[in-house]
Amino acid sequence: MPIYQQLGKVPAKRHIAFEKDGGGLYYEELIGNKGFVGPSSLLYHIQHPTQVRSVRLVKELPWEADQEHTFRHRHFRTAQLPSQRSITADRVPLLFNADVAMDIVQPTQEDEYFYRNAQGDELIFVSDGGGVLETQLGELPFRKGDYLVIPRGILYRFRFTQQPVRCLVIESRGYIATPKRYRNEHGQLMESAPYSERDLRRPQTLPVHDEKGDFRIVVKKENRLTEFVLDHHPFDVVGWDGYYYPWAFNIADFEPRVGRVHLPPPTHQTFEGEGFVVCSFCPRPYDFDPRAVAVPYNHSNVMSDEVLYYASSEFMSRKGIEYGSVTLHPDGIPHGPHPGRVEAARGQTHTDELAVMLDTFRTLKVSKQALGIEDPAYFQSWVEQP
Ligand SMILES: [Fe+2]
């Protein structure tokens, strides 16, 4: 849960007349999750945000599942995907269920339009690249390793300063937050949490655009994109305050935990959503008992599907993965370290692994688009070769 934030100018009280210096009023807008009871912010616009000139359907984004239903562990080499044009319109779906979806996108161009996701919160992991996330609520510079949390309904546009850009996108039906067990009864992250509010970056600058003309906004709703043309620049917010805004957290700011013997993945939890959790596996020393087996023990993740995105080609318990690999270890089949990895870890002092894990509580479906980059022999990769 982010903390209260105020940027730009706001009136002394909510819902009172807010006069412009040259005459006239600013126009208030509430952006709130779950209507009027969830986290929200109050924005003050130069123009009414409702002034739409035209509307048209732009693109359908169907989620089509793989129809080959042989149940097995899966591995997708996303580095083999060709680049796409747009970070918002050309995401490649990989895995999905009713709660959450995982896409990959390697955009080559900046969008000419502004974008709003009206069906889900977005958690964007910047695997490569850098730039500025421009939003209605201010600018958020981003860099490699950032998680960008963009609650639904917030209008944004990416600007890139470092190419290539490569992002893992997690779209969530529910609200994405810091894990509740890390927060005290007042909402503050506790001393025992693996990061603090100081590590969470919020918009610090709020450029104001007072411009008339045709400005395109693309809204994602029910897996289709619709374009609205406004008669003014939508980033005309002179001030806002509240708890609802985009924020960033760099994976390098996650303080990993190690134990005398191996600690389980929830130790690495970074975010929670409805029906899933996200964990960060970061470079860290190995467990410190001389007899400790540093790599994870075999496990049957009952009632959970485990997905790993490898942001490095190194992962202590795996072999045969590469940068950009995505593995799916579903509920119903045990998984564990690859042959030789337990022995190889003995005597080692640390791991340089970097990976993002998505654990879902409902079964994930594999998209048709993921099939072209699948490693078909992955499910056999635990068999020891003579
Ligand atoms: Fe696992």
Predicted local distance difference test score (pLDDT) of residue 62: 87
Q: How far is the CA of 301 from the centre of ligand 1 (A)?
A: 7
Predicted local distance difference test score (pLDDT) of residue 2: 75
Query: Residue 208 in contact with residue 115, Cβ under 8 Å?
Result: no
What average pLDDT score do residues 9-33 get? Answer: 96
Q: How far is the CA of 329 from the centre of ligand 1 (A)?
A: 7
At 86-135, the pLDDT tens digits run 999 999 999 999 999 999 999 999 999 999 999 999 999 999 999 999 99
Q: How far is the CA of 336 from the centre of ligand 1 (A)?
A: 7
At 274-314, the pLDDT tens digits run 999 999 999 999 999 999 988 889 999 999 999 999 998 87
**Where does 106-223 show beta strands of DSSP type E?**
114-117, 121-135, 138-142, 146-150, 156-172, 212-221
Predicted local distance difference test score (pLDDT) of residue 313: 80
State the chain's mean pLDDT as an integer: 95
Q: Output DSSP code: residue 12.
A: S
Q: How far is the CA of 358 from the centre of ligand 1 (A)?
A: 10
| Start-to-end Cα distance in the chain | 52
Residue 16: band (very low, low, confident or very high) from pLDDT cuts 50, 70, 90: very high
Distance of CA 105 to the CA centre of its chain: 12
At 228-265, the pLDDT tens digits run 999 999 999 999 999 999 999 999 999 999 999 999 99
Q: How far is the CA of 51 from the centre of ligand 1 (A)?
A: 50
Tokens 């411009």 belong to which residue? 211
User: Whole-model pTM?
Assistant: 0.97
Predicted local distance difference test score (pLDDT) of residue 347: 80
Query: Residue 254 in contact with residue 271, Cβ under 8 Å?
Result: no
Contacts of 346 (CB under 8 A, 6+ apart): 293, 294
3-state helix, strand, coil in the chain (%, to 5): 10, 40, 50
What is the sign of the dihedral through the CA atoms of 94, 96, 102 and 107?
positive
Predicted local distance difference test score (pLDDT) of residue 200: 97
Q: Where are the alpha helices (DSSP H) in the chain?
A: 341-345
Predicted local distance difference test score (pLDDT) of residue 98: 97
Closest listed residue to residue 157, CA positions, set 216, 206, 111, 93:
111
Q: How far is the CA of 119 from the centre of ligand 1 (A)?
A: 29
Residue 374: band (very low, low, confident or very high) from pLDDT cuts 50, 70, 90: very high
At 130-144, the pLDDT tens digits run 999 999 999 999 999
Percentage, residues of the chain above pLDDT 90: 89
Q: How far is the CA of 306 from the centre of ligand 1 (A)?
A: 6
Predicted local distance difference test score (pLDDT) of residue 1: 57
| 28, β-bridge pairs | 44
Q: How far is the CA of 315 from the centre of ligand 1 (A)?
A: 12
Better-scored residue on pLDDT, 351 or 27? 27
Name the helix (H) or strand (E) containing 328. Answer: strand 325-329
Better-scored residue on pLDDT, 349 or 31? 31
Q: How far is the CA of 97 from the centre of ligand 1 (A)?
A: 19
Q: How far is the CA of 265 from the centre of ligand 1 (A)?
A: 8
Is 345 strand, coil or helix?
helix
The residue count for the chain: 386
What average pLDDT score do residues 363-378 get? Answer: 96
Percentage, residues of the chain above pLDDT 70: 100
Closest listed residue to residue 219, CA positions, set 57, 11, 24, 47:
57
Q: How far is the CA of 152 from the centre of ligand 1 (A)?
A: 30
Q: How far is the CA of 299 from the centre of ligand 1 (A)?
A: 6
